[in-house]
Chains A and B, each alone.
Chain A
């Protein structure tokens, strides 16, 4: 069974600080997606990384896929209150690639 573990599960920091959220597995994934989910709503896709070592930037958010494609990180620079939310990572399998395996999420709170 493939599992994705996110850390930390909860993070509360002050506006302007930097933070990193981690997504780790012992399994190799063909791709890794990061989503943001608001209460009572569906996951909204932020980015997909597919190549080991790949780095993608989305404004103040930097996403990285590990070289071995087993882990990923999300780094936010100068966090804003608008970044508050639940961040989910989800991995696509090497074979039968239609199924996403989700992490449990990191609940991020940015305090003004």
Chain B
């Protein structure tokens, strides 16, 4: 069964450092997303991406965050200067359609900022 894959599974980084989280969405999907889940809290929407541009972003997704689809398969989330409060599980997701009916999530990248 096709799946969304994410790397790394776990990263520890110093506060202020840049982090890039990578995702390979399901191959025929056109819509890509990043969500995050702080330990013990709800899964929160960060950003959606379609046709090589951001289609929607949340208030969490400030200037420290950026997304990119550098080639035909990868989708990345960059955090420019990490803060302690960026520590969370980051989930990549993809869907074939614009509606939210069929969003599939990856296994997540656990980011710890120290």
Using a CB–CB distance below 8 Å, which chain A residues touch chain B?
A: 30-31, 33, 35, 40-45, 48, 50, 88, 90, 92-93, 96-105
For the complex, give the distance between the alpha carbons of A42 and B33 in Å.
Answer: 13
Of A31, A45, A90, A93, the contact of B43 (CB 8 Å cutoff)? A90
Can you give 25 A-B contacts (C-beta < 8 A)? A30-B99, A31-B100, A31-B101, A33-B100, A35-B105, A40-B110, A41-B108, A42-B4, A43-B43, A43-B105, A45-B102, A48-B102, A92-B101, A93-B100, A98-B31, A98-B56, A99-B45, A99-B48, A99-B58, A99-B100, A100-B35, A100-B43, A100-B45, A102-B43, A102-B44
- Measured between alpha carbons, how far is A104 from B4 in the docked complex, in Å? 23
Min C-beta distance of B10 to chain A, whole Å: 9
Interface status of B75 (Cβ within 8 A of chain A): no
* Contacts between the two chains (Cβ within 8 Å), count: 70
Give chain A nearest CB distance to B36 CB in angstroms.
11
A45 near B108 with CB under 8 A, answer no
Q: Using Cβ atoms and an 8 Å threshold, which residues of chain B touch A98?
A: 31, 33, 48, 50, 55-56, 98-100
Chain B interface helix/strand/loop/mixed? strand
In the bound complex, residues from chain A placing their C-beta under 8 Å from that of B55 are: 98
Known: A43-B43, A102-B43, A104-B42. A48 touches B107 (CB 8 A): no
A43-B91 contact given A97-B99, A98-B56, CB 8 Å threshold: yes
Evaluate contact between A31 and B99: CB separation under 8 angstroms.
Answer: yes
Tell me, in angstroms, the Cα distance from A43 to B6 when the chains sit together: 13
Which residues on B sit within 8 Å (CB–CB) of A50? 101
Q: Give Cα distance in the complex from A90 to B104, angstroms.
A: 12
B44 to chain A, nearest CB (A): 7
CB distance from B33 to the nearest CB of A (A): 7
Let me know if A102 and B42 touch, CB within 8 A. yes
B38 at the interface (CB under 8 A from A): no
A42 touches B107 (CB 8 A): yes
B106 an interface residue at 8 Å Cβ cutoff? yes
Which of the residues B45, B50, B104, B110 comes within 8 Å of A101, measured between beta carbons? B45
Taking CB as reference atom, which chain B residue is nearest A41?
B107
